[in-house]
Amino acid sequence: MATLSTSILQLAASIGLTLIPASATAQDLSSLVDAPPFHTWNTDRYAPQDWWTPSPHQRGRLWYSTVRKVVEVDWFAARDIPADGFGSTPVRSTRQAFAVPYFPTDVVALSRDSILVAGKYRGTETVIEQWTLRWPREMPRPRASDVVEVAEPTEVSRREVYRGDLAGQRIVHKMCRMRHDPAIVMLQFDDSTDLRQLDLGTGELSTIATMSGARALGPVPGLADGHPFVWTGDHSTRGYVYVFGTKGSAFVRTERPDTIVLCDVDRDGTLDLSLSVPVDRWDRSEFSSGASYVSLD
C-alpha cells in the first residue's frame, strides 16, 4: 500500500475517516497489495446492506474490522419486523465477535442462516468463506415489559469457496448476493474495474460487466468510480436491481460520482440494463422509495 502523506492524513481526519496509524498492524496491512492513494482501511466498518433478519423477531447488523481481524454482529430483539426488513424498533442488543486469521475486507448476508466473508492473508492470498450459523432456539416475540435475552448462534461452520492471488483479484472491495440464485454472488476486486460473479458451489469466477461492455450489457464506465458499496432490491418495474452508490458514506472525493443501477429486468440472472443517476437527483428517482420495491431484504 502506498505511503500516505501528511496532507492525505489531514484530509481524511477533516472528514471523519479513520486511517491506519503507522504501527505494527499498519505494516501488516501495507503488505497486502498496492492500493489507490485514497484507499481507506477503516478500523470498524459496517456492511452496506447491513441489516440481517435470521428469524421473525431477531435482526443482526454486520460489522468487520480489518485491523482487528474480526467479524462482528450486533444482535437485536425486535417486536415486529415488516416484510421489507425496515421499520422495526429494536428492544435490546448484544454484540457477538468472530475472530478470523486474515484481514477481512467485506461481509454480506446471504440468507437467514448464512453470511459470506472476504479477506486477505498477509501479503499472500485472497480468501472468501461461506459461514453457516445455527441457533439453539428462535427468538420469541418480546414484549415491552420483558427482560429480553437475545439469542446468539452457538455453532458456526466455515467453508472456503475461493482462494487466489491473481492480478485483478487481489482484494475483495465489495460483494452482493445475486437475487436469482442464492449460490451466486456479485463482487468487485479492489485492483480491477470489472464486475464478477462467483459460483459458491464451484468457486468459478466469471465477468458480468466491464467499462467497455460484457455479455448482454453495454459499457458501464461508472465501474471505475470506486463506489464504496452495493445493495440490491427487487424493483416493481425494473426487476432485480443492483445499486452502486456513495450516499451516506464517508466518500473521500469532493464530488460524488453518479449512482450506478444495474438491472436484471426479466429476473433471469443476466444484467440487461445500466442506468446512471446523478447524486442530486437520486431522491427524485424511481429507485429512491421503498414503496417501489417488491422486496429489499
Residue 15 confidence (pLDDT): 35
> pLDDT value at position 143?
61
pLDDT of the residue at 284 = 93
pLDDT at 147: 53
User: Nine-digit cell at 258?
Assistant: 453518479
DSSP string, 170-213: SSEEEEEE-TT-TTEEEEEETT---EEEEETTT--EEEEE-SS-
In a domain? residue 124:
yes
Instruction: Supply the pLDDT for residue 273.
Output: 94
Residue 86 is predicted with a pLDDT of 45
Domain span including residue 70? 6-295
Can you tell me the distance from the alpha carbon of 223 to that of 12, in angstroms, rounded to the nearest whole number? 23
88: in domain: yes
For residue 167, is it within any domain? yes
Residue 244 lies in a domain: yes
- Domain CATH number, residue 211: 2.120.10
Per the structure, the count of domains in the chain is 1
For 9, counting Cβ atoms within 10 Å of its Cβ (0-12 exposed, 13-18 middle, 19+ buried), the class is middle
pLDDT, tens digit (0-9, with 9 covering 90-100), for 198-239 = 999 999 999 999 998 877 788 999 998 888 888 899 999 999
pLDDT at 188: 94
Supply the pLDDT for residue 255: 65
- Residues of the chain with confidence (pLDDT) below 70: 1-51, 78-92, 139-149, 247-255, 297
Residue 190 lies in a domain: yes
Residues sharing a CB contact under 8 Å with residue 181, sequence separation 6 or more, in sequence order: 269
pTM: 0.79
